[in-house]
């Protein structure tokens, strides 16, 4: 099979309209993002989420449309160009075999399955791009090659090419910053869809078989997707609500420092003990109470630092209490050391957030 030149990419035909449609949609979305001020090379996370990227905390918070919209977003010009070429190439080979409707259905279904796989595996990864759907299309084509739908004379070379493409990208995807979960999810969905397409493609006259196989494929994808989404536990909304409560407790604990200098010694000591130390202990209790929640490991590590921060605050308040009670400067150095430790913890939390 002779590979087409670049001009073929721009020429719609009966056998490539679906592929060109998806390329056009991806291009229009990319241009719209640029016009709105999104960086051409490195879009920031906020921009991607605003434009519909896939992100577990947002997607599982009833924003299921992100499973679909993320299939048309790209993270910079190079990401867009690489995916566009990969989509054009597989479209040129696959769409004439399965038709535009099946091609479009494969792109959408495998893209959505890739998005589901991404948030099922990744807790805080922002995912965008057509690569999950493209892997799905390659999965369909691999199944058709193995299943004997493609001409025997070119089957071996094409299968080798497809397997090398998939294998290289999966190995390369091990590095940080690449959503391999989406690639694998899209690929598996594509392989399954290819199996569903095979009977009808081998018997094109059997119209009933065509629609039965499509129905089975669609049902399989839906059931798998529903199962995967149901297995995703998202406790981030609970965590966020608890952290708002933490801030209230922290604010009350820090009220000690709002007392006037002229305040009575007894009142100050009572404030430190009964309000300051008490609320820091409540903060610790609240954070430790979130341990059973299903949270990303980054947040769990942050919570450990938060507990240490509260413990150091209690230690500092106890030193302040003794300093005021004994009216002594002997605790000044201890207070200074405690303040340094508190500041170091705060810096560590800021750095890791």
The answer for 62, left when phi > 0, alpha when psi is -120 to 50, beta otherwise, is left
CB-CB neighbours of 50 under 10 Å: 13
Same domain, 220 and 258: no
Find the Cα–Cα–Cα–Cα dihedral 86, 210, 154, 137, rounded to 10°: 20
Q: Among 182, 212, 230, where does a domain finish?
A: 230
Is 97 within a domain? yes
Q: Looking at the domain assignment, is residue 172 inside a domain? A: yes
**Residue spans of alpha helices (H) in 99-202:** 100-121, 131-146, 152-172, 180-202
- For residues 197 and 53, membership in a common domain is answered with yes
Query: Cβ(31)–Cβ(51) under 8 Å?
Result: no
- The residue assigned the tokens 């906020």 is 46
The answer to the question of residue 1 being in a domain is: no
Residue at a domain's end among 204, 230, 256: 230
Quote the pLDDT of residue 217. 76
Q: Which residues contact 64 (CB under 8 A, 6 or more apart)?
A: none
310 and 210 co-located in one domain: no
Number of domains in the chain: 2
Average pLDDT over residues 290-296: 89
CA 61/CA 331 separation, integer angstroms: 49
**1 pLDDT band (50/70/90 cuts)?**
very low
pLDDT at 235: 86
pLDDT digits (tens, 9 = 90+) for 215-274: 887 787 778 878 887 888 778 888 989 999 999 999 999 999 898 888 899 999 999 999
One domain for residues 211 and 343: no
Contact 11, 23 (CB under 8 A): no
Instruction: Tell me, yes or no, whether 219 lies in a domain.
Output: yes
CB 311 within 8 A of CB 274: no
Same structural domain, 257 and 184: no
What residues make up the domain containing 269?
Answer: 236-352
Distance CA(270)–CA(80), nearest Å, equals 63
Angle of CA points 107, 224, 114, to nearest 5°: 40
> SS3 of 44, please?
coil
Secondary structure of residue 54 in the 3-state scheme: strand
What is the enclosing helix (H) or strand (E) of 288? helix 278-288
- Please indicate, yes or no, whether residues 269 and 164 belong to a single structural domain of this protein: no
Catalytic (active-site) positions: 131, 183
Whether pLDDT at 6 is above 50: no
Are 191 and 275 in the same domain? Answer: no
Of 113, 100, 98, which is closest to residue 199 (Cα–Cα)?
A: 98
> What confidence tens digit (pLDDT) does each residue in 155-183 have?
788 888 888 888 888 887 777 668 899 99
Check whether residue 341 and residue 289 sit in a common domain: yes
Residue ending a domain, choose from 210, 230, 250: 230
Residue-wise pLDDT for 173-212, tens only, equals: 777 668 899 999 999 999 989 988 888 888 887 778 877 8
331 shares a domain with 190:
no
Q: Which residue has the tokens 């949609």?
A: 25
Is the pLDDT score of 12 beyond 80?
no
- Quick one: 275 and 144 in the same domain? no
Cα Dmax for the chain:
98
Q: Is the pLDDT of residue 301 over 60?
A: yes
């Amino acid at each position: 099979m002779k590979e087409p030149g670049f001009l073929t990419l721009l020429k719609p035909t009966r056998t490539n309209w679906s592929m060109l449609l998806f390329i056009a949609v991806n291009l229009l979305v990319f241009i719209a993002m640029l016009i709105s001020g999104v960086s051409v090379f490195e879009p920031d996370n906020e921009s991607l989420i605003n434009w519909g990227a896939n992100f577990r905390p947002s997607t599982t918070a009833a924003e299921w449309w992100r499973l679909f919209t993320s299939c048309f977003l790209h993270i910079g010009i190079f990401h867009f160009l690489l995916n566009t070429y990969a989509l054009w190439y597989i479209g040129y080979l696959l769409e004439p075999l399965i038709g535009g409707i099946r091609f479009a259905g494969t792109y959408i279904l495998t893209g959505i399955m890739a998005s589901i796989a991404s948030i099922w595996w990744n807790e805080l990864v922002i995912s965008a791009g057509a690569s999950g759907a493209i892997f799905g299309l390659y999965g369909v084509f691999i199944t058709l090659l193995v299943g004997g739908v493609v001409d025997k004379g070119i089957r071996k070379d094409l299968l080798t090419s497809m397997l090398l493409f998939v294998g290289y990208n999966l190995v390369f995807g091990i590095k940080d910053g690449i959503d391999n979960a989406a690639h694998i999810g899209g690929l598996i969905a594509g392989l399954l869809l290819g199996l569903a397409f095979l009977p009808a493609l081998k018997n094109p006259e059997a119209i009933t078989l065509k629609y039965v196989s499509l129905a089975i494929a669609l049902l399989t994808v839906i059931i798998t997707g529903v199962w995967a989404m149901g297995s995703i536990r998202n406790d981030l909304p609970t965590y966020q609500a608890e952290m708002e409560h933490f801030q209230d407790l922290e604010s009350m604990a820090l009220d000690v420092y709002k007392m006037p200098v002229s305040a009575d010694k007894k009142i100050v000591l009572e404030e430190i003990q009964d309000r300051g130390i008490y609320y820091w202990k409540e903060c610790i209790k609240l954070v430790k109470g979130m341990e059973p929640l299903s949270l990303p490991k980054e947040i769990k590590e942050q919570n450990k630092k938060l507990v240490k921060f509260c413990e150091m605050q209690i230690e500092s308040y106890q030193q302040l209490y003794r300093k005021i009670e004994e009216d002594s400067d002997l605790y000044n150095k201890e207070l200074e050391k405690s303040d340094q430790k508190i500041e170091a913890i705060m810096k560590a939390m800021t750095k890791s957030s």
